[in-house]
Amino acid sequence: MKKLINGVDDIVSEMLDGMTAAYPEYVKRLEGFEVLVRAKGATPKVALVSGGGSGHEPSHGGFVGKGMLDGAVAGAVFTSPTPDQVYEAVKAVNGGKGVLLIIKNYTGDVMNFEMAADMARDEGIDVEQVIVADDVAVENSTWTTGRRGIAGTVLVHKIAGAAAESGMNLADVKRVAEKVIANVRSMGMAVNACTVPAAGKPSFDLADDEIEIGIGIHGEPGTHREKISSVNNIADKLLEKILGEGIYGSGDEVALLVNGMGGTPLMELFVANKHVNDVLASKGIKIAKTIVGNYMTSLDMEGFSITLLKLDDELKSLLNAPADTPAFVQF
């Protein structure tokens, strides 16, 4: 295993310090905690907190900033943050208008974020939560009851963040987030698995001519393995499952996210994006906004995921609202 690290136990802490050193105008670290918050502190609006295990960068700390998150909590690699870390984040970002927790549907995340919410409510903080479960690959998985939360979470951050920035109250920000969750679907694949530093070996083995379809973002194997083929053919398989949900049809407008898993060249992501655009156009589905890049990764995994979000006028307006964070800038 080759990793550019100093020590396995120090990776997350050193990463967070490195992010604050790179982006001091955006983020600061809560002393003693693996938590990033906005550099200027809490503001009198609904605050958004998300997070999870590290290894998905730029999620989640890269989305702390105007128009997206107010706080991000980083667990160890692929491990849920503890309730006290989430609790400290909630207290730090609370500006008096309440806090919305955006949780990916993994058992540890759901349990620990819910415990933190109860702790914050005991302190008189108004806390609500939403759970993202956009992965159409599997109904249940190694770490979940129900579908996993993957790259669609980024669109929840963006749209709910814009709603909060616009001055909506906590109930309306939660309503908007739940509307995104109801209309977003994703699916991914891998050419090669990732290597967790503490494990020192790939999370699963693929032959030189094999790919894994339906992977998660924690190095989990997917639904099945098959021989590698053209990216057009692979994208078709992912789209077939997503479109099979029955919520996207001719005349609809969607947002499209072609997300890299961490080790995939942008060249290849853009080739995949071209074909997805062609397929959706052939079905009469209009793409109102396309986002291509690494947003919800899995360390050094090579592969990509496709996310579609069905838009209405409200979601489209919020998606296009300004945002300014280290990993997402839109004016």
pLDDT band of residue 10 (cuts 50, 70, 90) is very high
Q: How far apart are CA 174 and CA 191, in angstroms?
A: 36
Mean pLDDT of 172-182: 98
Concatenate the DSSP letters of all residues of 207-269 into one string: -TTEEEES--SSS---SEEEE---HHHHHHHHHHHHHTTS---TT-EEEEEEEE-BSS-HHHH
pLDDT at 303 (0 to 100): 98
Rounded alpha-carbon distances, angstroms, from residue 233 to 151, 228, 230: 21, 9, 5
pLDDT band of residue 220 (cuts 50, 70, 90) is confident
At residue 299, does pLDDT exceed 90?
A: yes
What is the number of alpha carbons within 13 Å of residue 256 lying toward its C-beta? Answer: 29
The number of angstroms, rounded, from the C-alpha of 214 to the middle of its chain's C-alpha atoms is 16
Residues of the chain with CATH 3.30.1180.20: 184-325
What residues contact 12, with CB distance under 8 A and at least 6 apart?
A: 34, 54, 74, 75, 76, 77
Q: Output the CA torsion sign for 201, 292, 48, 16.
A: positive
pLDDT at 187 (0 to 100): 98
Domain 12-182 has CATH 3.40.50.10070: no
pLDDT at 249 (0 to 100): 97
Give the gyration radius of the chain's Cα atoms: 19
pLDDT band of residue 143 (cuts 50, 70, 90) is low
pLDDT band of residue 212 (cuts 50, 70, 90) is very high
Q: Which residues is 274 bridged to in the sheet?
A: none
Q: How far apart are CA 301 and CA 280, in angstroms?
A: 27
Mean pLDDT of 125-132: 98
pLDDT band of residue 230 (cuts 50, 70, 90) is very high
Residues of the chain with CATH 3.40.50.10440: 12-182
pLDDT at 2 (0 to 100): 87
- Catalytic: 275? no
Q: Poorest-confidence range of 211-225, 242-256, 272-286, 311-325?
A: 211-225
At residue 144, does pLDDT exceed 80?
A: no
At residue 140, does pLDDT exceed 80?
A: no
CB 309 within 8 A of CB 184: yes
Please state, rounded to an integer, the average pLDDT across all residues of the chain: 96
CATH topology for the 184-325 domain: Hypothetical Protein Tm841; Chain: A;domain 3 (3.30.1180)
pLDDT at 198 (0 to 100): 86
Q: Among residues 60, 157, 218, 275, which one is catalytic?
A: 218
The proportion of the chain whose per-residue pLDDT surpasses 90, expressed as a percent, equals: 92
- Catalytic: 56? yes
